Amino acid sequence: MLRGKKILLGITGGIAAYKAVDLASRLTKSGAIVKTIMTNNACEFVKPITFKSITHQPVITKMFNEEADIEHISLADWADLLVIAPATANIIGKVASGIADDLLSTTIMAITSPVFFIPAMNINMFNNSIVQKNITKLTDLGYLFMEPEIGMLACGYEGKGRYPDNKEIFYYISAYISYKQDLVGKNILVTAGANQEKIDPMRFITNYSSGKMGLAIARAAHIRGANVKLVYAGVSDKVPEYLDSIEAYSAEEMHQVVSKEYEAADITIMTAAVADYTPKTYSKQKIKKTDNFKLELNRTNDILKELGDNRTNGQILVGFAAESNDIVENAIVKLNEKNLDFICANDLKVSGKDETCITVISKDSQKKYDGEKFEVAHKILDTIIKKAE
Ligand SMILES: Cc1cc2nc3c(=O)[nH]c(=O)nc-3n(C[C@H](O)[C@H](O)[C@H](O)COP(=O)(O)O)c2cc1C
């Protein structure tokens, strides 16, 4: 997604500066051309040679360089995107006040391409109303921000301020470069994962769904500006903190949450592998081993069918069908039976993997996409959105 894209990476003097080395590496490996600007204080944390060795591109630290062109202008003109990772309270404050007193802040003043801040700092610094007002001001002016994560901070405090996972920053950059914010104003409900149906305090029934596809769709839609609500059961990956999400372990919990959220959704994408059966009774005490144990099961509510039967005007409903055989044929049956707009058919073999191969089927079309789940998620969204227009 980033092949040939020109990314300017601004590194400021935060403790997370060393983490940006991995970001530079991910961007470079994905085919982007990455040039780096480091503030003087950033150089106290990481040496410029580290970024130069990773990106194979210049790392610029000085404003006044007799051998170079007027660098703040040439770098600003060159870049498709400027990413400041980590962004200190200082750089945010300087930009919000129009200060241009070093190469990075001056380049930010001169650039017309999007500027993306990844703030990371102590919780009290982040919560400081001056920092918050500066972020609001810059957001209103069109600068992009990624929320810091909550967790243990290097300073010993616990709370919001941690540098996010580079994987998430990478997703953000790649989706933004390709799609900008084309889903603003859309309410999208996504389910993900595998339900857990409890037998006793120790045991439950579940299935192989990892939730990766649902997370990829929720993540892609969120970055493209949609108002996403994620309802998830057992997922193998961490749910990004920036997603508005509700955990619903059992099929019945998922049924209740989805029924409540459905009406507000313009688009509902049901990727979760909802349990078809649940134990007839739940034993509060752990069931002892016997030789002739029998487990009686009840059918769960068919959430997708219920949504299909209760559609209001213009709502788009998308189901997923993971099959072991006759994948497309079985999916078409489900599309019709459940009154869906689209069904995404895939082979059970892709469960848990980062790559997939999916056929998106509607009543009058079939499109096959394969690749990394995040990239396929964008293709699925593109196909759905075309119908919504
Ligand atoms: C050990 C250490 C760690 C720091 N970590 C952070 C940080 O994570 N975030 C932040 O905003 N400032 C942090 N600071 C403060 C900045 O380095 C300071 O505000 C500096 O002026 C930032 O300069 P710059 O924005 O030009 O790079 C830290 C300072 C020290 C000494």
pLDDT in the model for residue 13: 97
Mean pLDDT over residues 19-36, rounded?
97
Indicate whether 66 pLDDT > 70.
no
- How far away, in angstroms, is 315 Cα from ligand 1 center? 48
- Which of ligand 1's atoms lies nearest the C-alpha of 91? 25
Statement: residue 122 has pLDDT above 70: yes
Mean of pLDDT values over 248-267: 95
Round the average pLDDT of the chain to a whole number and report it. Answer: 92
**In this predicted structure, what is the pLDDT of residue 326?**
82
What is residue 156's predicted lDDT score, i.e. its pLDDT?
Answer: 80
Answer whether residue 250 shows pLDDT above 90. yes
Question: Above 80 in pLDDT, residue 301?
Answer: yes
Longest dimension (CA), the chain: 86
What's the mean pLDDT in 88-94?
A: 98
Distance of CA 138 to the CA centre of its chain: 22
* Helix (H), strand (E), coil (C) string for the chain: CCCCCEEEEEECCCHHHHHHHHHHHHHHHCCCEEEEEECCCHHHCCCHHHHHHHHCCCEECCCCCCCCCCHHHHHHHHCCEEEEEEECHHHHHHHHCCCCCCHHHHHHHHCCCCEEEEECCCHHHHHCHHHHHHHHHHHHCCCEECCCEEEECCCCCEEEEECCCHHHHHHHHHHHHHHCCCCCCCEEEEEECECCEECCCCCEECCCCCCHHHHHHHHHHHHCCCEEEEEECECCCCCCCCCEEEECCCHHHHHHHHHHHHCCCCEEEECCECCCEEECCCCCCCCCCCCCCCCCEEECCCHHHHHHHCCCCCCEEEEEEEECCCHHHHHHHHHHHCCCCEEEEEEHHHCCCCEEEEEEECCCCEEEEEEEHHHHHHHHHHHHHHHHC
Contact 15 CB / ligand 1 (< 6 Å): yes
Residue 35 C-alpha to ligand 1 middle, in angstroms? 22
More confident residue, 356 or 53: 53
* CB of 119 closer than 6 angstroms to any ligand 1 atom: no
- State the pLDDT at residue 328: 84
Is residue 67 pLDDT above 80, yes or no? no
Structure tokens at 13: 């003097």
Return the active site residues: 155
C-alpha–C-alpha distance, residues 387 and 186, integer Å:
13
| Model confidence, pTM | 0.87
Do residues 9 and 35 touch, judged by C-beta distance below 8 A? yes
The residue-averaged pLDDT of 241-269 equals 94
User: Does the pLDDT at position 388 exceed 70?
Assistant: no
Question: Which one is predicted more confidently, 346 or 67?
Answer: 346
99 has pLDDT over 90: yes
Domains located in the chain, CATH noted? 6-179 (3.40.50.1950), 187-388 (3.40.50.10300)
Q: Give the position, in ligand 1's atom list, of the atom nearest the Cα of 87.
A: 11
Cis geometry, peptide bond prior to residue 86 (ω within 30 degrees of 0):
yes
pLDDT tens-digit series, residues 157-166: 788 899 999 9
Report the pLDDT value the prediction gives residue 311, as an integer from 0 to 100.
82
